Amino acid sequence: MGRLKVMAVVGARPNFMKIAPFVRELRRHPLCFDPLLVHTGQHYDETMSASFFPALRIPEPDAHLAVGSGTHAEQVGRTMIAFEQALKTRNPDLVVVAGDVNATCACSVTAAKERVKVAHIEAGLRSFDRSMPEEINRIVTDRLSDILFTPDEIADRNLLNEGIDRAKVKLVGNIMIDTLDTHREAASRLNLGEIVTANRMGGDGLASGASLWDDGYALLTLHRPSNVDDPDILARLIGFFADEVAHELPLVWTVHPRSRRRLEADGLWQRLTGCPGIILLEPVGYIEMLRLNLGARIMFTDSGGLQEECCVLGTPCVTLRNNTERPLTLREYGGTCELAGNDLVRLRKRFLEMRSLPRRPFRPPMWDGRTAERIVASMM
Ligand code: UD1
């Protein structure tokens, strides 16, 4: 039998840490697999995309579709058109997508229509909230996938409840944790002040990296449309972080380009750059973010991936969402996260009760750094 031609897809930042261990594991078996990597180009800034390739030792993509930003329909549509061409040119036996971004959905639909088998890494997650574009992407991708690699038993149950054939579902664990384990030691050697100096956004009034020490700062990321697209909600959140959190602890905020655009458009950027307790950083690399997470007393985020990393590292995490597709990360399941949405009363309550919690690392079964190994073994 010839080698299996496996086309892995990346598009947006959260894909890179999921695909890196998978591609590395495929390359360890050159007699079995002929790996190809396609980048759809959903994310394209150096800090959102290119910088992750050397840092996570991901090979250069074999094809770059350069689809860029746009409305959902524009982004998905452009990806489908370009990916169809990539499939025709490269003729893979299997397409492997990861996560829940627009690239995941667009490429699984295109492959299914071209009658190419699809495997989905991180299948079965459900927030049961279809107002999130990611939930639509998850449902469509899982429905069309031939192999569904799941991170936990809750994901398995979600798929079975939707009538998906048990034989297609393979519980393999959380592949993001492979990447976390690979880079954790290197991250712990990084210096906090140097990360701040190298990634600082302009503004003279900002607190400096010298004021940061382990366990002595809060960390914030924010990019969901539900938090940043409505000017009133965003203004309320800025008020909370500037007046309440940064008053007590230096607050490090790695600013997503979507949020920066909104902050500037809403006239809030000046307020932030003038706030002495807030340190604004460009989007930082994976290892730098891991270092910031390792030293944070508390995390505020609306990112699902960071929720999982906080859980394994033990960082108390206030999640700025009303639901999650990753329930295992919640404190009621043994994790470190609490949902708070963007309601100020809930946020304040969570901040006050969680800012002095000790670190309590939690690893669900099979979040053991060997997920890529299990995935690739199941394909041999
Ligand atoms: C996307 C994913 C989201 C993921 C997030 C991580 C979907 C539906 N959403 O959201 O699940 O959590 O990535 O970052 O796929 N932009 C830049 N440079 C870039 C990329 C984006 O400036 O390299 C700006 C553009 O203004 C763009 C906006 O950010 O319009 C949003 O980018 P987009 O890829 O549409 O969605 P994200 O909010 O990044």
Atom 21 (ligand 1): residue with closest C-alpha?
43
Q: What pLDDT score was predicted for residue 1?
A: 66
> What is the arithmetic mean of pLDDT over 335-360?
97
Q: Residue 195 CA to chain centroid, in angstroms?
A: 20
Centroid of ligand 1 to alpha carbon of 125 (angstroms): 20
Angle, vertex CA 348, rays to CA 346 and CA 350, nearest 5: 70
Q: What pLDDT score was predicted for residue 205?
A: 47
> What is the arithmetic mean of pLDDT over 238-263?
95
Gap between the Cα atoms of 211 and 193, Å rounded: 8
Domains of the chain plus CATH, in order, are: 4-174+366-379 (3.40.50.2000), 185-354 (3.40.50.2000)
- The yes-or-no verdict on residue 47 having pLDDT over 60 is yes
Q: What pLDDT score was predicted for residue 208?
A: 61
Gap between the Cα atoms of 237 and 239, Å rounded: 5
Centroid of ligand 1 to alpha carbon of 3 (angstroms): 35
pLDDT tens-digit series, residues 121-177: 999 999 999 999 999 999 999 999 999 999 999 999 999 999 999 999 999 999 999
Atom of ligand 1 nearest to the CA of 224: 38
- The yes-or-no verdict on residue 178 having pLDDT over 90 is yes
List 39, 120, 183, 223, catalytic entry:
223
Please tell me whether residue 218 adopts helix, strand or coil conformation. strand
Q: What pLDDT score was predicted for residue 150?
A: 98
pLDDT tens-digit series, residues 195-234: 999 999 865 445 566 678 999 999 999 999 999 999 999 9
Q: What pLDDT score was predicted for residue 204?
A: 47
Gap between the Cα atoms of 154 and 174, Å rounded: 13
Q: What pLDDT score was predicted for residue 211?
A: 73
Q: What pLDDT score was predicted for residue 71?
A: 96
Could you tell me what percent of the chain has a pLDDT over 90?
94
> What is the arithmetic mean of pLDDT over 27-48?
97
Atom of ligand 1 nearest to the CA of 44: 23
Atom of ligand 1 nearest to the CA of 47: 23
Atom of ligand 1 nearest to the CA of 101: 15
- The yes-or-no verdict on residue 100 having pLDDT over 80 is yes
- The yes-or-no verdict on residue 239 having pLDDT over 90 is yes
Gap between the Cα atoms of 246 and 32, Å rounded: 53
Please tell me whether residue 166 adopts helix, strand or coil conformation. helix
Centroid of ligand 1 to alpha carbon of 114 (angstroms): 27
Centroid of ligand 1 to alpha carbon of 273 (angstroms): 23
The encoded tokens of residue 122 equal 């991180």
Among 43, 130, 138, the mutation site with the greatest number of ligand 1 atoms within 8 A of its Cβ is 43
| 223 flagged as catalytic | yes
pLDDT tens-digit series, residues 283-338: 999 999 999 999 999 999 999 999 999 999 999 999 999 999 999 999 999 999 99
Which residues line the pocket of ligand 1, CB cutoff 6 A? Answer: 12-14, 42-45, 48-49, 69, 100-102, 133-134, 223, 256-258, 261, 303
Centroid of ligand 1 to alpha carbon of 44 (angstroms): 9
Could you tell me the maximum CA-CA distance found in the chain, to the nearest angstrom?
A: 65
Gap between the Cα atoms of 315 and 361, Å rounded: 7
SS3 content of the chain, % helix, strand, coil (to 5): 50, 15, 35
